[in-house]
Amino acid sequence: MRKNLLKSTLVSALAATLLLSGCASGSTTKQASGDKNVSLKGVPAVYAKGNHFKIKVIRKIGGDDHTAQFLAGAKQEGEALGFQVDVFTANGDTAKFHDAINQALDQNYDGYIISHGDDDATVNDVKKIVEKGKSVVTFDSNPKIADVDGVTLTSQDDEKLAQLTLDQLVKETNGKANIAYLWVDGFPAMVRRNKIYQDVLKKNPGIKEVDRFGVAAADTSVQTQNAVAAMLNKYPKGKLDAIFATWDAFAIGAARALKEAGREEVKIYGIDVSNSDLQEIQRQGSAWKYTAAVDPKLIGAVDMRILAKKLAKEETPKKYDLEASLVSQSDLQKSKQPVNMVNLAEIIPGWGQSNAFEEDWMKTLKDHYKK
């Protein structure tokens, strides 16, 4: 009886192990089977066969809400299509960023979304990925990447982002203001925004830059807050009129510094937006007047759709720019409820919505994998 009991125990343990093994491969098995009631007719063959793709999303910058929402958008869209999606942010650490790309390549992911790869080393990384037959979409990265066959380089319309905000700054100051410039060099998006800024200064000689600051790090908003606080000591009331912030991590730091110093007569004109940004802009008395933005969650989703088309061997563009919108404090403060990234669409029609690259077969896949 003892032998039989031992045998029974071993069999039960083996069965449990096999069951757990099935759960571990997991989500793969469950997602690959999907909803049997949803026909996969019209879906590209590579998806109709139930292939389960592994996707890696790697972003160089981090520590801000924009990054979190970009990653969330990519992950949500990918998982809706039945992909396994893993995300990583290097928080501004270049070495960690490139290590993550090379590690992902060794781990044999099928597709990659790479964000803010600004240096030439990223171009080499992308070439290595393509040489292995993998699909790549990049966001706000080195422009040379667009020359790599089969790769799509996506961007916000950075020129439009800068122009929308600066037009308001010029209009509201009647073209005469002392301003501080919050900007960091080295990133393609920042280079494009800076070009518009320089053009605006040339056309409006009454707009004078009196100070500047910029650093990209995990604690950018904190460092910016400290830097702006120091600026305010140098420029008493009447000596500084506005701040142009080319990234919301800069703007949120500046807003905190102005509030703490009681200097909210200095107005902020920014770029990018998040839930915490909207809360600050909507606050009565806030210095933050305008921000121009593209929904970061939508950017992640659109990048994932382009990647899905690449995996299906469908045609995709070398470059794609997402359209920018202007968010004003006056519009937000008209709302009777706190404004967030979801209900912002009630103020800005079409916000967070786009059918770009969303094929009918993707809708079928989403129905198939819907939980």
- Any idea where the domains of the chain sit in the sequence? 47-155+296-323, 158-293
pLDDT digits (tens, 9 = 90+) for 125-146: 999 999 999 999 999 999 999 9
- Which percentage of the chain shows pLDDT scores above 90? 80
Per the structure block, which two tokens stand in for 122? 């990223």
pLDDT digits (tens, 9 = 90+) for 284-314: 999 999 999 999 999 999 999 999 999 999 9
End-to-end CA gap in the chain: 46
CA proximity to 169, closest of 161, 160, 177: 177
Identify the pLDDT of residue 217.
86
CA distance 292 to 297: 15
Q: What percent of the chain is helix, strand and coil (3-state, nearest 5)?
A: 50, 15, 35
Identify the pLDDT of residue 38.
67
Cβ neighbour number for residue 167 with a 10 Å cutoff: 16
CA distance 199 to 138: 28
Across the chain, what does the average pLDDT equal?
Answer: 89
35 — pLDDT class (breaks 50, 70, 90): low
37 — pLDDT class (breaks 50, 70, 90): low
Residue indicated by tokens 């299509």: 81
Identify the pLDDT of residue 66.
87
Is the CATH code 3.40.50.300 the one for domain 47-155+296-323?
Answer: no
CA dihedral over 240, 241, 246, 251, signed as positive or negative: positive
pLDDT digits (tens, 9 = 90+) for 217-270: 889 999 999 999 999 999 999 999 999 999 999 999 999 999 999 999 999 999
| Distant-in-sequence, close-in-space partners of 218: CB < 8 Å, separation ≥ 6 | 62, 63, 91, 92
Q: How many DSSP H helices and E strands does the chain contain?
A: 14, 12
Angle at 265 between CA 260 and CA 268, to 5 degrees: 85
98 three-class SS: helix
pLDDT at 32 over 60: no
Cβ neighbour number for residue 279 with a 10 Å cutoff: 15
Supply the pTM of this predicted model: 0.80
Q: Which fold has domain 158-293?
A: Rossmann fold (3.40.50)
pLDDT digits (tens, 9 = 90+) for 161-196: 999 999 999 999 999 999 999 999 988 899 999 999
Identify the pLDDT of residue 63.
82
pLDDT at 158 over 80: yes
Identify the pLDDT of residue 3.
38
pLDDT at 13 over 60: no
Per the structure block, which two tokens stand in for 27? 């989500």
CA distance 194 to 207: 15
Identify the pLDDT of residue 51.
74
Same fold for the pair 47-155+296-323 and 158-293 = yes
**What are all long-range contacts of 47-50, with beta carbons under 8 Å and residues at least 24 apart?**
47/82, 47/312, 47/361, 47/365
Per the structure block, which two tokens stand in for 134? 């993998």
Identify the pLDDT of residue 226.
98
Q: With contact defined as beta carbons under 8 Å apart, do 323 and 270 qualify?
A: no
CA distance 164 to 324: 9
pLDDT digits (tens, 9 = 90+) for 103-128: 999 999 999 999 999 999 999 999 99
pLDDT at 48 over 90: no
pLDDT digits (tens, 9 = 90+) for 195-222: 999 999 999 999 999 999 999 888 999 9
Q: What letter would DSSP give residue 291?
A: E
pLDDT at 329 over 60: yes
